[in-house]
């Protein structure tokens, strides 16, 4: 099978995204990766606000998914770092809410 630079970069990005808690890469083709996540609209909004409008999108016919582009390694690294940072913040906020709820009980 012929493997292009884009194929290799997609596989690299897929593997890196698989390490981020709260997102689950789905089998994807071409220059896009689908990520399964809770509240994909909110994550897309935050990513687009940090990087550039329209960087990521939410496909209409795939519930709970976010579509991210696969580009050059530098752009992909910026996108990966943004996803990782936003998901870490989300998990910290959820943990703080759980702790506050437990203390209130």
DSSP structure string for 4-60: -HHHHHHHHHHHHHTTSTTEEEE---TTEEEEEESSHHHHHHHHHHHS-TTSSB--T
Tens digits of residue pLDDT in 22-77: 999 998 888 999 999 999 999 999 999 999 999 999 999 999 999 999 999 999 99
Domain that holds residue 39: 5-104
pTM of the predicted model, to two decimals? Answer: 0.85
Q: Is it the case that residue 1 has pLDDT exceeding 50?
A: no
Task: Identify the CATH number of the domain in which residue 25 sits.
Answer: 3.90.1150.10
- How many domains does one find in the chain? 1
């Amino acid at each position: 099978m012929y493997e292009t630079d884009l194929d290799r970069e997609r596989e690299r990005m897929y593997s890196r995204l698989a390490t981020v808690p709260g997102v689950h890469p789905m089998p994807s083709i071409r220059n896009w990766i689908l990520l399964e996540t809770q509240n994909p609209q909110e994550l897309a909004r935050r990513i687009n606000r940090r990087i550039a409008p329209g960087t990521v999108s939410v496909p209409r016919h795939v519930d709970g998914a976010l579509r991210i582009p696969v580009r050059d390694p530098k752009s992909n690294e910026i996108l990966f770092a943004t996803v990782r940072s936003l998901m870490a913040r989300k998990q910290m906020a959820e943990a703080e809410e759980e702790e506050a709820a437990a203390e209130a009980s």
